[in-house]
């Protein structure tokens, strides 16, 4: 009888806003619900090795429009060290291969989903964020 330990990680994330804009967490690509399962997946709770739930309700009907800062401005903010680095990657110098818009889905409850510029290099593992909102419209 073969006695190999079989483990699978399952991430359940939110649906992308407008089926385009993905969600990003403080841990990068980690979904709001993550489970590590083992065994034959026979439906027993004994198969759950780890379960992490960081899921907060989102009111998808509450929508507002705000001006965004430019991606160039966001890049300058990231270069100045004022952005959020979810994953620094493998090298000391970040090479950005892709810039996109997404939403920041904090593990802590937040009043609004925040639009962010996402700077990434999937080859290297770098992932950084900068708020996409034009700061002249944000109350301090």
Contact 84, 128 (CB under 8 A): yes
Domain residues for 89?
7-137
Instruction: Express each pLDDT in 67-78 by its tens digit.
Output: 999 999 999 999
Which pLDDT belongs to residue 84?
96
Q: Report yes or no on 114 lying in a domain.
A: yes
Tell me the pLDDT tens digit for each residue of 86-95: 999 888 888 8
Q: Encode pLDDT of 13-29 as tens digits.
A: 888 888 899 999 998 88
Mean pLDDT along residues 51-62: 82
User: What does the pLDDT read at residue 70?
Assistant: 96
User: Regarding predicted confidence, which is higher, 54 or 96?
Assistant: 96
Cβ atoms of 45 and 87 closer than 8 Å: no
Longest CA–CA separation in the chain, Å? 66
The Cα–Cα gap between 27 and 9 comes to 15
Length of the chain: 140
| Domain assignment of residue 1, yes or no | no
Flag whether 58 is in a domain. Answer: yes
Pairing of strands 84-88, 7-12: unpaired
Residue 130 has pLDDT above 90, yes or no: yes
Check whether 42 has a pLDDT greater than 70: no
pLDDT at 40: 59
2 in a structural domain: no
Query: Higher confidence at residue 113 or residue 131?
Result: 131
DSSP string, 40-107: T--S-GGGEEEEEE------TT------B--HHHHHHHHHTT-SEEEEE-SSSS----EEEEEEE--S
The pTM for the full model equals 0.80
- Tell whether 43 is covered by a domain: yes
Q: How many domains does the chain fold into?
A: 1
């Amino acid at each position: 009888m073969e006695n190999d330990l079989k483990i699978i990680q399952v991430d359940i994330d939110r649906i992308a806003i407008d089926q385009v804009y993905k969600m990003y967490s403080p841990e990068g690509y980690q979904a709001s619900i993550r489970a590590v399962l083992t065994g034959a997946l026979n439906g027993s709770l004994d198969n759950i090795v780890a379960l992490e739930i960081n899921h907060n309700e989102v009111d998808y009907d509450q929508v507002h429009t705000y001006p965004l800062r430019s991606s160039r401005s966001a890049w300058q903010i990231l270069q100045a060290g004022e952005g959020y680095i979810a994953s620094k990657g493998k090298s000391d110098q970040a090479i950005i291969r892709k810039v996109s818009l997404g939403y920041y889905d904090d593990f802590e409850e937040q009043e609004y989903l925040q639009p962010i510029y996402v700077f990434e290099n999937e080859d290297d593992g770098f992932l950084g964020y900068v708020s996409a909102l034009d700061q002249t419209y944000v109350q301090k």
